[in-house]
Every structure is written in C-alpha cells, then in structure tokens.
Amino acid sequence: MKKDGLLETRLEETRVFAPNDAFRSRARIKNLSEYRRMYEESLSNPESFWGKIAGELHWFKKWDTVLDETNAPFFQWFVNGKTNISYNCLDRHLDSATRNKAAIIWEGEPGERRVLTYWDLAREVRKFANSLKSLGVKKGDRVAIYLPMIPELAVSVLACARIGAIHSVIFAGFSAESIRDRVLDCSCSLVITADGGWRRGNVLPLKKIVDEAISDCDCVKNVVVVKRASGDPFPCRVKEGRDHWYHRLIEEASSDCDAEPMDSEETLFLLYTSGTTGKPKGIIHTTGGYMVYTYLTTKYVFDIRPEDVFWCTADIGWITGHSYIVYGPLANGATVLMYEGAPDTPDKGRFWELIEKYGVTLFYTAPTAIRAFMKWGDRWPEKYDLSSLRLLGTVGEPINPEAWMWYHTTIGKERCPIVDTWWQTETGGIMITPLPGCVPTKPGSATLPFFGIDAAVLDDEGKETTAGFLAIRKPWPGMLRGIYGDAERFKETYWSKWPGVYFPGDGARKDSDGYFWILGRVDDVVNVAGHRIGTAELESAFVEHPAVAESAVIGIPHDLKGQALVAFCSLREGAEGTEDLLAELNDLIAKKIGKFARPEKIIFSSELPKTRSGKIMRRLLRDIATGRALGNVTTLADASVMERLKAQYEE
Ligand code: WTA
C-alpha cells in the first residue's frame, strides 16, 4: 500500500470479482438486471415497494400512508401503523418450526456456552419486561443499558422494546463520566448493568463504574444487576432499595406479557454517537421504519436463510450490533452467534475456532479486525476448518484493497462473496453494499446503493461529480428521526449542506460503473479502530486538566486502527510537559471518555498554529503529524509556530 493513504491505492484498483456461481444459483437476487429493476421500483414507487415489504411483518394496525414528507426533514414512515419490534422478532416465529431453533448461541470469553431457542428467548424477554414494569418503567421512559456481550443484553433491549420503553445502550468500554453524560442527557430512570464482564482474561468492574457514574444522577431510581462475574475476588456492592439482581427479578416474574402496540413513529431507541462538537448526540430511531429497514437489509445483503449461523462480531453497544445482532436477524427468524470477549483470548485463533465450532456461515466484521488478523499471520486461521463460511462482510471504515484481498483469499478461500457495507448510526441500516448473488465486487468499493437509497456524490454546490461528498437525496425507512432534545442540531448537521438532501459527513468517489468508493470523514470526526470519535469531545476533555490551556486533536493514518489520534496541547504558564503530565492526560481521557479513545501521541507545545481570527489550523497539524510538506502558512498569525512544532514532533 502506498504510504500516504487509501485514495491513491484505490484509484488504481481495477480488480473485479464476479459473484461466485454456487452462491449465485441459490441467492435471492441472481443477476444485476433484477437488482436494477427492483432498485428502480424502490425509488420510483416507494409506497408500493416498502408497503409490500412491511406487509411481510406483523402489524396490530396497518399504516395509512407509507411516507409523509410534509414536515421534512422530520419524515414519517408507515404513518398511523401500530406494531411492536419485539413481537416481530419473537412472537411472530412461535407458531412455526422456528419456535425451537436457536435464536442466540452464546459463548463467554472463559468458554461457557448457552443456547436460547426462540421460545426460550421470548419467555425470558417477557419475564424481564414484567420485571421492568414492576420497577415502574412505563412506555416512553428511558432505560440505560451498560452490559457486556451476554444474552441478557439482547434480552434487555427486546424487553424494553416490548413495553415501549426507550433503550439507550452504552458500550461497556465507556467511562463513568461518559455514562453519566448519556444518562443525564435523556434522564434515564433505570440502568441495567452487570457485576462484571470478561475481556482478555480480566473482569471489567461494570457495576462499580455505574455506581460512580450515577452517584449524582437523581433521575435514576433503579439499577438492575446481572450476575456474571462476581464473587471472590470480585465482590459487588448492592445498594438496598435501588439495586436489584436480575436473576431474582426473573425468578419472580410472570412469563405472560403482551407486546405494547407502538405507533410506527414512537421512539424505539436512542444511541449516542460522536459529532463535530464536544457533546455526543442522542440519535433517535423509531419503531416501524427501523424495523422494516433492518429486516430487509439483513434478508438481502446477507442473503440469510433458515439454516445460517450469522456472526456479527460487533458489540451491541454500537449500531452494528443493534441492527445486525439483534433486530435484523431476529426479525428474520435467523440464528445468531454472540461472543463475549476478545479475538486474541486465550490465543489469536479464537475467532476461527468459533467459526469451526459453531459452523458459522455468515461472518460480518470490521477492517480494523481484519488488519489485526493479517498481522497475526495465516497460521491462526489455517489451524481451523472454515469451510462452513459462505459469505463475508465488512463495516465501519473504508477497507484497504490489501485487507480485502487477504479476507477474500485466506478466510473466504476465494469462494465467499464479500459485502463491504457502508452505513452509519444515523442511517439505521446498510445503505451502500453489493448484493452478494449479483453485484461484482471491487476490493475497496462498497459498490451500489441498496433498495430505496438515492445515493450520489455531490460537490459543494450540490452538483453531481465524480469525487466529492456522499449525499442521500431521498428519505429511507431506517433514517434517524432526530437528535434527542436538539431539533436544530439535527437540521444543521444533516440537512443544511444542500436543500432537502441528507449529508452523512463522508467523502466519496463514483467510478464509471457507478460504484461508490467511500473515502472517510470530511469533518472533525475520526474513526479509530471502527469507533467514531469527535475530536472536539477529546479536546474539551484535555482542557479540563489545569495544566492544559488549549488542545487540538487530529486523526492520522494508522496501519491497524485505520486512524489514530494525535493530540497537541499547549500548556499554561508555569506548567511543564513532563512524563507525569503525559500519564495524567492519558488517565484523564480514559476516565472522561474511555480507554479506547486514548491518543497514540500527545505533543506539548507553548502555542498552536492559528489564523489571525484565532481558529486553530488542524490542517497544518495534520501535515506535521503525517510528515507531509507544510501547507500554506500565510494565513497564520505567527508562522514560526509551525517550524517549532514540526521540530518538536520529529524529536
Ligand atoms: C464509516 C457504523 C467506508 C463512515 C455502521 C461512516 C465506512 C461512519 C463503512 C459511521 C464502509 C462505515 N466503508 N466507511 N463500509 N462503514 N464507515 O456511526 O465514515 O459507527 O460515516 O456506524 O463509519 O460510523 P458509525
């Protein structure tokens, strides 16, 4: 790969891989013309297209109109329809043979195994839904979920959905302060957590972190604690009156709990994600549209069948886990594999061992993981029988053609189609992707838009171009409906670049075959190992340290993580950039945001490069950090700052 990034390598990429014949012959969509016909229909007649799909699911009351655009960008889908996604993921399957098949096959990091059939899962969800009710949770209340990857996480999400409570899952790598911000932003009345969770042979003390997080959150009335890892030597403190053991609640709960008929546009969940300002955004997804969209994308993108074992390696704490571990696959009556821990515990073969052991057929992971596997070497996958695999997927960031080729040959044995799926927390489900039975793939391209997605590459003026900004010109059912408590920010962030067009914040290229090549973020959001982090969020954390006057955080290319963070901090008078300060700042970020957000490098300086109007010039900092020739410095208030910083960085 060329040193300075993906763009150049991709422009030269000319390899094309036709869908494999064996796969194609059984696929739902077997040729491009069929895809194109359906795609055209989905755009020209969304009412009938989406109406037909929605009709495959259960509705307590049918919708009046498929799409209402009167209040754009506050679009409404399946207007006045009443449904319940938990019902569609569970009850809908209980009258068929699906009742007795595995919904979730789970393996803990230490090696325990649990299998929940659709019947088991439905029963547990009903019981826990009743437990939530007994703790006073009502429709519309917000419930925070801070759990490791254990079946109770899926149960919690589905139990909230069943009674119309709004879940806000917080990835179990976030710090106490991040939890606190998220709990307060939407005033959660209940938090679901566990005493601990396993990660790389250690127990993360999740309950302890929650205790710290909510010590001054008056809104939280109850905490439910799943017993996963406590006991000697990991005791777990239980606060009388506020804290309740999950297993006790389940023991006492009735398994009779009807699903609440939800209006299509009632909120299903909030999921916080990073943006360009310091404050995380609570992305709102509603019931009907999200359900239909995740159902359909799972069905076609993974070409899922009843006998498949679908393993999406994401954490349910991120959107990928919401849509492709829980809602999409279960709405399709599929079997998912869920794994609690790290890919290199007890050794670097763990993922391949899981694939062999459970006969995984569909495997969906992230480029950052693929690059780590490549680095660990072929001897790990070679030890295991991967012949059960029939499709591979990737998501989270652009995949370098080299990593794509490795995935294709070493894991897919040149037999499995690869679906490189572009989408976001905001889009609810997959937006640009090959359909595996019919779309020829090119390493590094997410290829063509999914049904109903009017994707384009536009310039600043909104004119179509071959390299510019990715844009979505029509509403789609899975789209976000807003940012919790901030309608203005919603309009400003996504709908103000061009009139009536959704702006995802990514750069993209479109080639002569109409294929999309996503080039990464164009705003101050970085993608570190597939985790979206707003640089402003980190900068506000740094300046909370008394020694730091100002800070600028940038993302630079990184072989394994895709991007890594570099922080430039200018210090206050009298403060010194010592090793101790470095350690303190690293701890501060771990504490404020989470360990996964710690920067690769922190550079201390007496000042930062600024324009005369006082704006920090991040572009120049990027030049320094990537070793490029310094760009135009004439707008700088003091050009000598750059020379000093460059010298310091190289040192
Ligand atoms: C990036 C994850 C290139 C993109 C589902 C997007 C990708 C951000 C791809 C959303 C892909 C995701 N190719 N880039 N296949 N998939 N991205 O909200 O920059 O965590 O805007 O959602 O990840 O990240 P998020």
pLDDT at 12: 64
pLDDT at 7: 42
CB-ligand 1 contact for 315 (6 Å cutoff): no
Residues 524-650: name the CATH superfamily: ANL, C-terminal domain (3.30.300.30)
- What does the alpha-carbon distance between residue 235 and residue 196 come to, in Å, rounded to a whole number? 10
Is the model's pLDDT at 646 over the cut of 90?
A: no
CB-ligand 1 contact for 521 (6 Å cutoff): yes
Q: Which residue's CA lies nearest to atom 15 of ligand 1?
A: 422
For β-strands 455-458 and 391-394, DSSP reports them as: unpaired
CB-ligand 1 contact for 422 (6 Å cutoff): yes
Q: Which residue's CA lies nearest to atom 12 of ligand 1?
A: 396
Query: What ligand 1 atom has the least distance to the C-alpha of 394?
Result: 15
Percent of the chain topping pLDDT 90: 82
pLDDT at 9: 44
Q: Which residue's CA lies nearest to atom 13 of ligand 1?
A: 398
Is the model's pLDDT at 67 over the cut of 60?
A: yes
Query: What ligand 1 atom has the least distance to the C-alpha of 433?
Result: 15
506: which 2 tokens? 């990514």
Name the band, by pLDDT with cuts 50, 70 and 90, for residue 173: very high
Listing from the earlier edge strand, what are the strands of the sheet with 113-117? 113-117, 102-107, 335-339, 309-312, 362-365, 391-394, 418-420
Pick from 169, 301, 424, 515 the residue to mutate for probing ligand 1's pocket: most ligand atoms within 8 Å of its CB.
424
CB-ligand 1 contact for 397 (6 Å cutoff): yes
Name the band, by pLDDT with cuts 50, 70 and 90, for residue 568: very high
Upstream peptide bond of 233 is cis (omega within 30 degrees of 0): yes
Is the model's pLDDT at 431 over the cut of 70?
A: yes
Give Cα separations from 174 to 105, 277, 284, 526 (angstroms). Answer: 26, 18, 20, 17
Q: What is the mean pLDDT of the chain?
A: 94
- Phi/psi of residue 301, each to 5°? -70, -40
* 468-491: average pLDDT: 98
pLDDT at 6: 40
109: which 2 tokens? 């990091």
Name the band, by pLDDT with cuts 50, 70 and 90, for residue 1: very low
pLDDT at 232: 61
pLDDT at 11: 55
CB-ligand 1 contact for 59 (6 Å cutoff): no
Query: What ligand 1 atom has the least distance to the C-alpha of 426?
Result: 18
Pick from 272, 397, 515 the residue to mutate for probing ligand 1's pocket: most ligand atoms within 8 Å of its CB.
397
Pick from 10, 284, 320, 395 the residue to mutate for probing ligand 1's pocket: most ligand atoms within 8 Å of its CB.
395
Helix (H) or strand (E) holding 115, with range, is: strand 113-117
Q: Report which of 129, 167, 97 is spatially closest to residue 484, judged by C-alpha positions.
A: 167
3-state DSSP assignment of residue 328: helix
* 40-66: average pLDDT: 98
Q: Which residues contact 330 (CB under 8 A, 6 or more apart)?
A: 89, 90, 103, 158, 336
pLDDT in tens, 505-527: 999 999 999 999 999 888 888 99
CB-ligand 1 contact for 308 (6 Å cutoff): no
CB-ligand 1 contact for 424 (6 Å cutoff): yes
Q: At what angle do helices 287-301 and 46-54 cross, to 10 degrees?
A: 80
Is the model's pLDDT at 259 over the cut of 80?
A: yes
CB-ligand 1 contact for 297 (6 Å cutoff): no
**Amino acid letter, 361:** T
Pick from 312, 527, 533 the residue to mutate for probing ligand 1's pocket: most ligand atoms within 8 Å of its CB.
527
pLDDT in tens, 206-236: 999 999 999 999 999 999 999 998 666 567 8
pLDDT at 3: 36
CB-ligand 1 contact for 319 (6 Å cutoff): yes
Is the model's pLDDT at 129 over the cut of 80?
A: yes
pLDDT at 530: 85
Contact 239, 223 (CB under 8 A): yes
CB-ligand 1 contact for 431 (6 Å cutoff): no
Helices assigned H by DSSP within 135-197 = 151-163, 176-185
Q: Which residue's CA lies nearest to atom 22 of ligand 1?
A: 424
State the distance from the centre of ligand 1 to the C-alpha of 459, rounded, in angstroms: 20
Q: Report which of 78, 458, 145, 491 is spatially closest to residue 295, judged by C-alpha positions.
A: 78
Name the band, by pLDDT with cuts 50, 70 and 90, for residue 37: very high
pLDDT in tens, 389-415: 999 999 999 998 999 999 999 999 999
Is the model's pLDDT at 381 over the cut of 70?
A: yes
CB-ligand 1 contact for 423 (6 Å cutoff): yes
Is the model's pLDDT at 591 over the cut of 80?
A: yes
Of residues 632 and 80, the one with the higher pLDDT is: 80
Helix (H) or strand (E) holding 622, with range, is: helix 618-625
